Amino acid sequence: MGICASKDDKTSATPGQTGRTGTTVPREKKPVTTAGDSPLSGLKKASVGSLQPHTVSSTAGSGISPSANGTTDAKDPHAISGSPNDTHNDNTQSPHDNSLANGTAGSTAPKKEIKILLLGSGESGKSTIIKQMKILHQNGFSDEEKADYKTFVFRNIVECVRNLISGVRDIKPELIAPGGKIEEVGEEKASDPAIPSSLTNVIYNDDIEQILAYEPPVDPSLPFDSKVADKILAFFKNSNIQTFITQYRSAFYLPDSTNYFLDSLPRISAPDYVPDVTDILRTRKKTSGIYDTKFQMGGGLDIHMYDVGGQRSERKKWIHCFDDVTLIIFCVALSEYDQVLLEENSQNRLEESLILFDSVINSRWFLRTSVVLFLNKIDVFAEKLPHSPMENFFPDYSGGNDINKAAKYILWRFNQANRSGLNIYPHVTQATDTSNIELVFAAVRETILQNSLKDSGIL
């Protein structure tokens, strides 16, 4: 049965909210619940350059426990209870346990449709999760479906380069000179002390205007214009532009897949190009309204997953969600800690996710619902953190560019919002990595099975 938003549902700013908005809401002094030991204990095994998302998933021997059974000192953002070296001793069964995986525990495991609500702010990775479910549980994408994605790939490329050009013009307009063509001068000229280093690689406005004027074909039988592709690639590979991206990425909006798509332009602009699975996973298609998909996960589970539009303008449609939902998967883009909203450029995007999470987890509609928290885009997060210090956006963070401490801090912030004491199962994810998502969803399946058995009185 559908539900409607109520005036009795109080949505408040996230406790302890800080950042670009310049406002701070005092944190509650009462302990915030977490698992008996650090739910991100697996992070201790990884460094900034080698962190693998699956190291913190609920895998055999290192499962992540629900974060509603322990305590955390609310005064210390890094004091997630327990030591990273502790061993988990909870009763959570391994996802590799055959009796649960096959739905044979006591031969009475329930077989029913499981409704999963996929929530999160815009561009947090929800639609990518849906695509991964199709790959893992619905035989993937047909040749026809891959061909249909071609025009969306083209549009993504155009969006990426237009946003990059807009950022350059707004922040460093001197990088673009009037007239002529994009060029990189030779080594001899570049070493001439009379020529400023900023002018050794010249980008001319005429080429920029030709790039901006290009509209990709809507007919999937037509290729991306190879001459325009060459101009885009020359612009993107220009050393001044690469330096600009590194230094100013947090100051303007640039899609996460920009590097991937622009680096792939020679392949994508080929006449016989057909998108592969990675292209499809990287392609952004804005979700509007509610998109639902059904699949079988195994262990007697028929899954009905609902993806809800994440942009602010879409959230009013969330009143049509469900009061009988089994599980909420809430996606958070870790990499958005230094970005602002498209709809409101004074609002930090991670803070927006915290506010949204607060409104969901403390809603009276979800008092008996378990929540799986996907801390997503760990790959982009690891790439950005050394160049864009988190403390510039969250002054109470003090862990430097240590990705483990940064991830724990963000998890701590989300735990702070859990005033209802719901079970939270956190996982660090990379939604574009199929093997990672397969591993994480094995743990999600175990969570669903355990909860179903408890609800039926078996456990």
Please indicate if the annotation marks 257 as binding a ligand. yes
Please indicate if the annotation marks 377 as binding a ligand. yes
Please indicate if the annotation marks 284 as binding a ligand. yes
Distance CA 341, CA 352 (A): 8
Please indicate if the annotation marks 308 as binding a ligand. yes
Please indicate if the annotation marks 108 as binding a ligand. no
Q: Are strands 290-298 and 201-204 parallel, antiparallel or unpaired?
A: unpaired
Which member of 18, 37, 132, 284 is catalytic?
284
57 touches 437 (CB < 8 A)? no
Please give the helix or strand (H or E) that residue 447 lies within, else none.
helix 434-455
284 is an active site residue: yes
Distance CA 153, CA 285 (A): 10
Which member of 34, 92, 93, 128 is catalytic?
128
Please indicate if the annotation marks 370 as binding a ligand. no
123 is an active site residue: yes
Distances (CA, A) of 430 to 10, 128, 381, 448: 32, 10, 10, 21
Which member of 21, 71, 151, 311 is catalytic?
311
Distance CA 375, CA 125 (A): 10
Please indicate if the annotation marks 283 as binding a ligand. yes
Please indicate if the annotation marks 267 as binding a ligand. no
Long-range contacts formed by 408-411: CB under 8 A, 24+ apart: 408/38, 408/40, 408/43, 408/78, 408/80, 409/77, 409/78, 410/332, 410/334, 410/337, 410/350, 410/375, 411/39, 411/40, 411/80, 411/373, 411/375
Within 8 A by CB and 6+ apart from 259, the residues are: none
385 touches 48 (CB < 8 A)? yes
Please indicate if the annotation marks 127 as binding a ligand. yes
Please indicate if the annotation marks 268 as binding a ligand. no
210, exposed or middle or buried, with CB in 10 Å at 0-12, 13-18, 19+? middle
Distances (CA, A) of 7 to 4, 11, 204, 302: 10, 10, 55, 34
Per residue, the 3-state secondary structure of 112-179, as one string, reads EEEEEEEEECCCCCHHHHHHHHHHHHCCCCCHHHHHHCHHHHHHHHHHHHHHHHHHHHHHCHHHEECC
Which member of 307, 351, 352, 433 is catalytic?
307
Please indicate if the annotation marks 281 as binding a ligand. yes
Please indicate if the annotation marks 287 as binding a ligand. yes
Please give the helix or strand (H or E) that residue 296 lies within, else none.
strand 290-298
Which member of 20, 33, 52, 123 is catalytic?
123
Distance CA 417, CA 27 (A): 9
Specify the residue for token string 């322990």. 70
Please indicate if the annotation marks 307 as binding a ligand. yes
368 is an active site residue: no
Please indicate if the annotation marks 249 as binding a ligand. no
Phi-psi region of 367 (alpha: psi -120 to 50; beta: other; left: phi over 0): alpha
C-alpha angle 81-86-92 in degrees, rounded to nearest 5: 85
Binding residues for GTP: 123-128, 256-257, 281-287, 307-311, 376-379, 431
Binding residues for Mg(2+): 127, 287
Any idea which residues carry the catalytic annotation?
Answer: 123, 128, 284, 307, 311
Binding residues: 123-128, 256-257, 281-287, 307-311, 376-379, 431
